[in-house]
Amino acid sequence: MTFSLQLNQAWQEQLASEFEQPYFKKLVTFLEQEIITQTIYPSPHHLIFNAFEQCHPKEVKVVIIGQDPYHGAGQANGLCFAVNDGVKIPPSLKNIFKEIQADLGIAIPQSGNLERWAKQGVLLLNTILTVRANQPASHRRQGWEQFTDAVIRLISAKPEPIVFLLWGKDAQQKGKMVDDNKHYLLQSAHPSPLSCKNFFGNQHFSKTNRYLQQHGKKLINW
């Protein structure tokens, strides 16, 4: 099976040089083999680049960095932390919603679908964009990290200020590629049940909106 780059045209143009790199060609070969021999998520596979499909590069105001996709059937949809309508809300996302409720007084939604955030300019980017079923981190060190590094550098190079929400050590490592003289980096523990006690109270959602307001940008309706 051939792995196709189903990526928003604007992103495809901006990232064209990455797709020609040896590491990316090796990644594509790996994915083509995985698709034949394994169950991989997100599925259907056009959702692998869903974060880019839902958020045009010119509209990015906020970047949230996740790890790798959910590895259970029917969960991963290409947006970090998110699940589709009708899918049980995972614990980390539930904790994100709890913090939004505490921070902004917004009721916890019934759905974990975050497309509405993406449409407002929130890039929901996982560090690794694919995973084998029931095997977390199984596509680590295959080239995705290098690709998402390039995405973050591309966004950091933009002239307009952008908010980066970095939760947990993996996301904070990515933050090292961001120009913090130009952009706003908010860091805290990861919202997973293992570390959420240090995630709660970070007020990242009100801080993000305050920053956007100060820079004349439309607030995110969390």
Q: What residues act catalytically? A: 68
208: left (phi over 0), alpha (psi -120 to 50) or beta: alpha
Beta strands in the chain (DSSP E): 40-41, 62-66, 122-126, 131-132, 163-167, 184-188
Q: Is 130 exposed, middle or buried (0-12, 13-18, 19+ CB in 10 A)?
A: buried
Element (H, E) at 147: helix 144-156
CA angle 166, 170, 172 (to 5 degrees): 40
At 139 the three-state DSSP class reads coil
The answer to whether 140 touches 67, Cβ cutoff 8 Å, is: no
The answer to whether 155 touches 169, Cβ cutoff 8 Å, is: no
83: left (phi over 0), alpha (psi -120 to 50) or beta: beta
